[in-house]
Amino acid sequence: MRTFNAQEAAVLLHLNVKRVQSLARSGKLPAVRLGRKWLFRSDEIERLLGQDAPALEPSARPGWLAISARNRLHGRITSLVMDGLMAEVQVRIGDQELVSVITRSSAERLGLAVGDEVVAVVKATEIMIGKAGGEL
């Protein structure tokens, strides 16, 4: 069974190491403490990420670019519809679907195909929250 230390888990989860340790201490992130070190089972981290294989640091993956954005969601393309100048890309992230509309040329340049592992980068100035039964 492969395990990750706190630093490796933080990279995979896109969190600060201190935050990962805090989540482990509170029991919100499955981990085992050995002395002063935390160990995280790879299958548990993969389950949390909702993917089949662990995501490595961008520098460890050939052809991947390191970027400053922290809102990166790893997933797999489930649908790709190209129409005219645009392409609609549906990405499964865990048990959720995210839809992105990009230019067809970008989709072709990236060589996107159904089943590809991709990273969705969310760049927004605000995030809205809704709740059923809330006031309109």
> Do 46 and 82 have their domain in common?
no
80 domain-assigned: yes
59 domain-assigned: no
82 domain-assigned: yes
128 domain-assigned: no
CATH code (residue 80): 2.40.50.100
- pLDDT tens digits, residue range 46-103? 777 765 444 444 444 455 566 666 677 888 999 999 999 999 999 998 889 999 999 9
57 domain-assigned: no
| Count of structural domains, the chain | 2
* Residue 90 belongs to domain spanning: 72-121
pTM, rounded to two decimals: 0.49
Task: Provide the 8-state DSSP code for 79.
Answer: E
List C-alpha distances in Å: 26 to 32, 38, 116: 12, 12, 35
129 domain-assigned: no
Determine how many CB atoms are found less than 10 A away from the CB of residue 42: 16
Length reported for the chain: 136
